[in-house]
């Protein structure tokens, strides 16, 4: 159905993302080859771990300028979404700069007794609330739940498509032009994640 390349930057979720895409009928390749990535119809940057380690892997593979120069639809997943921003507080690292803003620690809310009211990392199911229209969320109801695992989050701004709240509100799905990000794990989010990936593969995203 689609030529999709998953950027091989060492993320532990590569296999599960590939499987989720293949279940949708996508023709998927995992590659760190610049020519293969540039030739893809769709590119996905998955990732788990820290921003500093993620950027270091991209630099070592010679892929920073490759990703920055992509003109086809690009989707960052979890850490991959965070790497699309200008910088991250996690390790005080410069990121790809494809989206404006800085990723910051997701601080826990404090309860009446001065103890954290929520735990960090944010791990588990949480509701998505739309703040803007996008074909990336077609068929996904407002309030639908997705599965998150993260300690840092992107700001809510003009690129935000959907938000979630854990201690504070943060950007859960973002998009600007053909650059998109999902802070949650679509490959672990059942029908919601499957629909988001299907939407990304569709001709509505071009």
CB 113 within 8 A of CB 126: no
78 a catalytic residue: yes
Four-point Cα dihedral 36, 96, 105, 173, nearest 10:
-60
187 a catalytic residue: yes
Catalytic residue (one of 90, 150, 166, 187): 187
Cα atoms found within 13 Å of the Cα of residue 68, Cβ hemisphere only: 13
Catalytic residue (one of 169, 176, 185, 203): 185
Cα atoms found within 13 Å of the Cα of residue 189, Cβ hemisphere only: 29
CB 163 within 8 A of CB 178: no
As a whole number of angstroms, the distance between CA 206 and CA 203 comes to 6
185 a catalytic residue: yes
Catalytic residue (one of 22, 78, 169, 203): 78
Q: Where does the chain show beta strands of DSSP type E? A: 3-7, 27-31, 42-45, 74-77, 85-88, 93-94, 99-105, 122-127, 129-130, 145-150, 152-153, 160-166, 168-176, 179-182
Sheet bearing 93-94, strands edge to edge: 93-94, 85-88, 99-105, 152-153
Q: Which residues pair with 31 in a beta bridge?
A: 7
Q: How far apart are the first and last CA of the chain?
A: 15
Give catalytic residue positions: 78, 185, 187
């Amino acid at each position: 159905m689609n030529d999709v390349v998953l950027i091989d930057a060492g993320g532990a979720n590569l296999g599960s993302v590939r499987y989720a895409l293949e279940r949708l009928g996508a023709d998927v390749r995992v590659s760190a080859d610049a020519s293969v990535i540039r030739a893809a119809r769709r590119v996905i940057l998955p990732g788990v771990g820290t921003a500093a380690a993620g950027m270091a892997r991209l630099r070592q593979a010679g892929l920073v300028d490759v990703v920055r120069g992509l003109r086809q639809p690009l989707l960052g997943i979890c850490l991959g979404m965070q790497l699309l921003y200008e910088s991250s507080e996690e390790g005080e690292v410069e990121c790809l700069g494809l989206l404006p803003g800085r990723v910051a620690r997701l601080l826990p809310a404090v309860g009446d007794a001065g103890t954290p009211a929520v735990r960090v990392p944010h791990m588990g199911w949480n509701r998505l609330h739309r703040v803007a229209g996008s074909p990336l969320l077609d068929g996904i109801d407002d309030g639908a739940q997705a599965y998150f695992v993260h300690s840092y989050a992107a700001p809510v701004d003009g690129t935000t498509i959907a938000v979630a709240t854990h201690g504070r509100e943060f950007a859960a799905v973002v998009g600007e032009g053909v650059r998109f990000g999902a802070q949650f794990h679509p490959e672990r989010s059942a029908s919601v994640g499957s629909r988001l990936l299907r939407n990304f593969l569709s001709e509505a995203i071009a």
